[in-house]
Chains A and B, each alone.
Chain A
Amino acid sequence: MLFLHCQQPRVPSASAPPFRPRVVSVAAPLSVRVTGGRRGRAVVAMASADARLAGIASSIRVIPDFPKPGIMFQDITTLLLDPKAFRDTIDLFVERYKDQGITVVAGVEARGFIFGPPIALAIGAKFVPLRKPKKLPGEVISEEYSLEYGTDKIEMHVGAVQANDRALVVDDLIATGGTLCAAVKLIERVGAKVVECACVIELPELKGRDKLGDRPVFVLVEADA
């Protein structure tokens, strides 16, 4: 099977406002066999993904110096105010994962709760919320992770994920990868397989993929940290 993953050239257009995220990946399925008549359809699928990605990228608002000076905050709330951009975002993830036998979508609190459930519903998977401490009632397992200053923790319900589950971990953005790495470890601890981490936005300068090692990461757009 041929793995098809293409990069858009990362050249900002003259008319684009400054600091916009750049379209990075053409969201082809995880693997596609390009043969004969299917080739035309694959090309059309990629062209359509292109157009959708441009709309998604331009719907994301960048707020300088939030939450503190020097941070360029990638604000997805403007994407959520654009029904077509939000629909396209979910569709691109669903197209990628619907035939991958994903049994659970885990979303990281709180913005992972916005993107994860619609994906889960569309592909018929369970949704598991990964939460800040003391929010989930009953028995939980937790994973600590480092912040710039200090540590934080995320928790998952015991029994939510089983050893034979195939999991997708969803958050709005990957930066340093600390939170995602903690999420992945929780799922792997119960013996399940993390098939991929899926985010709308990546800040590649912060090297989040390094923290995740050989676990795949899929994003729709890249932005400057």
Chain B
Amino acid sequence: MSRRYDSRTTMFSPEGRLYQVEYAMEAIGNAGTCLGILASDGIVLACEKRITNKLLDEIFETEKLYRLSADMVCSVAGITSDANILVNELRHIAQRYQLQYQEPMPCEQLVSQLCDIKQTYTQFGGKRPFGVSLLYAGWDPHYGLQLYQSDPSGNFSGWKATCIGANNAQAMSTLESEFKEGITLEDAVPLAIKIMHKIMDQNKLTAEKLELATVTRSDDKTKMTIIPREKLEKLISEREKLAAAEKQK
């Protein structure tokens, strides 16, 4: 372990690793899970809420889901205060593009520009990287509905279904077997609940611990709908019934 190469974010280790970036990803691996599935007619984002103290005042609509522009939303996993900075920057990037070109910003470009900023923290300055991974769900007229993921290194990629945060490896392997091409939103939402239910095995999945949103297009507008608590409770209890039935077989 070459610890002497740890503290400088901007230096490689002899094995060719950037330790600070990897440590940032460690931090995210302990944070609340975020799952995204790109269906043919919409995108579902499901997030595990970690802050569920009953003394908390509910000022914000959502804890992990943020609107970035009229056509894009994102969910975050990791250090919330770092996430707030990045979300603010994303909103400004999108508006600057809209001001300059009088057109909404294409999804990939928004992700790409933020990732360029994140990358600079791994190469210059001596500041630590942001301890946040993000899932972006959006629509643009060039490529339709899209789902992207970015991490502290500044890498990003487009996905049909992906997961970040705690237990993401388990979720990804389940997605690999259960995700079908051409899945509709109607099936994607229960699938998301199923996976969240599976990975939050130790802590029981309840509607208070879950935030679920769908991104759809209708009437030439992009809509982000946050599923209300009653509907979530219904979906979760349906899932639990199915799980109990499967166990009995």
Instruction: Tell whether A pairs with B.
Output: no
